[in-house]
A and B are shown apart, each in its own frame.
Chain A
């Protein structure tokens, strides 16, 4: 079952703006991961944040994790047209396997 839920379902912004996507989950986790999928391609791993971490950075990406609210956010700063993609969060709340959310579709207009 898909327990991670991303919000919003779709987001359209202008190039140069920041994009924020959120992910909520239901039970305790050890880690939460974010992936990107370009249209018609496989997913690419972006970042993994562990339950004892609150924030993590990778280039223009910033991920935060709030375990008390069971939520995470992915911030993409200074967005580019090439950031247009679907973004998925995945958690290990199942204990045996990753559970992916339905994703946020990001469109960056140039």
Chain B
């Protein structure tokens, strides 16, 4: 099956710890994205990558980091510098930067 996967589905973290969220796609898409969604809110873009080994900051990049070493993988690290990390994180991919996006099932991160 072609698609985009995220793991884990639920993640708990203690304050002060870094945590990495996984995102993998086998759609052969060049572009990948990370969004944050807070309860009852829309999507806010954290980082995006249009090609391997390149990525750009989105609207709320502070406290987050990414890498794009492989076309199919775009992991997101939530660092201890992120002041309010509890949220629902969505990864997406698309053939090109303005086209239809395919979303993963999301990771719900809770900081204890």
A residues sitting closer than 8 Å to B (CB atoms) are 1-2, 30-31, 33, 35, 40-45, 48, 88, 90, 92, 96-98, 100-103, 105
Point out the residues of chain A lying under 8 angstroms from B106, CB to CB.
Answer: 40-42
Q: CB within 8 A of B97: which of A40, A97, A100?
A: A97
Question: What's the count of A-B pairs with C-beta under 8 Å?
Answer: 53
Q: Is the CB of A44 within 8 A of B103?
A: yes
Q: Within the complex, what minimum Cβ distance (angstroms) separates A99 from chain B?
A: 8
Contact between A92 and B103, CB atoms less than 8 A apart: no
- Complex formed: what's the CA distance from A88 to B21 in Å? 24
- Residues of A contacting B108 in the complex (Cβ-Cβ under 8 angstroms): 40
- A interface, over-half SS: loop
Range, interface on chain B: 20 to 34
Which residues does B use to contact A, with CB under 8 Å?
33, 35, 40-45, 48, 56, 58-59, 88, 90, 92, 97-106, 108
Whether A42 pairs with B105 at a CB distance below 8 angstroms is yes
Chain B nearest CB from A63 CB (Å) reads 14
Contact A31 B98, CB 8 Å, known A43-B103, A97-B48? yes
Query: Do B103 and A102 have beta carbons less than 8 Å apart?
Result: no
Smallest CB gap from B98: residue in A: A92
Q: Which of B42, B90, B102 is A103 in contact with, Cβ under 8 Å?
A: B42
A90 to B99, CA, bound (A): 10
